[in-house]
Structure formats: C-alpha cells, structure tokens
Amino acid sequence: MNSPNNLPRMPISFLYFDFGNVLCTFCHDRMCRQIAEVASVSVARVEEVLFDSHSQWRFEAGELDPESYYQHLCTEFGSQLDWQRLVHAACDIFEINVPVFSLIKRLAAAGNRLGILSNTNEIHWNYCADGRFAPLLPGPFQEIILSYEVRLMKPDQAMYRVAIDRAGVPAREIFFTDDRVENVSGALQAGIDAVLFQDADQLIRELRKRGVPGAS
C-alpha cells in the first residue's frame, strides 16, 4: 500500500504496532478448544457463543467487563465455570514474535518513540503484560492504546484519532503496521503511513525505506 494520499513521505516521528499477530502470535482456534474443555461443551458451541454472537468483540470493545463476560459465558454454557481455569484457557494462546521483539529492542535503542495500538480485551492484556513477555511489555512503549480501555475498535476512525493525539505529531509522521487489511486501510484513511504486516523481514524493509533508525 502506498503512503497516505500518495503524498511525499515525512520523516517518521512515532511508530505504532498492533499486538496480536505482530508483536505476539495467537490462535483463536486453540482458545476455543481450551474453553470447550473447561466448559464441557463442543468447540462449535464455543465459537457460536464467542464469535457468532459477537460477545468476544463486545469484550474487546469494553462493552463487557471481565465479570460480565464471565457471567455471560456461564449462562450460555449452562454451568458455573471455574474462573481461573477459564482465564487460563482463554489466554494461554500467545507466543512472543521473537524476530519482531528483537527489532523493537533495536528501534528503542536507536531512540524511536514507539506505541501499541491494539484491539484486545482486559484478561488477554493482563495475561500478556504480567511479566511473562518482559521486557517487551510494557517495555519500550511510550503509548499503549487498547480497545477495551478507550472503548473503540480499529478500524473505527476515532481509534486512529486517539492514536494521533497520543503520539503528539501529525498523522503523516506516524507509522503503523497491522496484520489485518481493514485496520491498515483505516489507518491510511486517517492519514497515517501504514503497511500490512507479513513478517519481520518485510517490516524491516518497510522501515528502511522510511529511513527509520535501528531498522536493521
């Protein structure tokens, strides 16, 4: 994808990264299998409750807090679930993306201002930020913008406006990468220089094109 409106690129002053499948990989299928085991229901039933009914997205958008989410699942699955087992089943799905993590360390050491811009929910974030992925989280990030906290979801333009305001620089001086086309398109619409994430090598090439220090 080209830079916003095909205008000449400005020097990058702030870099935002998506969390899921950029900084860390994750697997929704694994989550559904593990929750199905805890709830003694089929995987298909978990998928129906979480995704077909949009409850997972409501959780990420901050419309449901953890207690409401838990009660909703208990009601839908017809049993009083063990909260700790449920949290582990829902969250034990992440692995650090080592090549990207290494790049982040180099970018931070070179003096770049970095941020996270992510659609996620409270239990996923708390699980990942509790030290198991240190020093990635909170690590070198000056801004961490999470959908459940701001009650906005990418690709809503309001989400990108928050990111621009928090960065404190013009949109054209912000770089963003995400693994979902619609989220990259939303960022481009907001005037942000955004690219679709494929892997660390491709990301490094994109950063080098922009002259970003530490992109090696």
What does the pLDDT read at residue 9?
67
What does the pLDDT read at residue 8?
59
What does the pLDDT read at residue 94?
96
What does the pLDDT read at residue 3?
47
127: Cβ–Cβ under 8 A, 6 or more apart, which residues?
87, 91, 92, 94
The 141-146 sheet, strands edge to edge? 141-146, 114-118, 14-17, 174-178, 193-196
What does the pLDDT read at residue 216?
77
Question: What does the pLDDT profile of the chain (216 residues) look like in tens digits?
Answer: 444 445 556 799 999 999 999 999 999 999 999 999 999 999 999 999 999 999 999 999 999 999 999 999 999 999 999 999 999 999 999 999 999 999 999 999 999 999 999 999 999 999 999 988 887 887 899 999 999 999 999 999 999 999 999 999 999 999 999 999 999 999 999 999 999 999 999 999 999 999 999 997
Task: Indicate the domain borders of the chain.
Answer: 4-25+96-209, 28-91
What does the pLDDT read at residue 6?
54
What CATH number was assigned to the domain covering residues 4-25+96-209? 3.40.50.1000
Q: What is the pTM of this model?
A: 0.92
28-91 is a CATH 3.40.50.720 domain: no
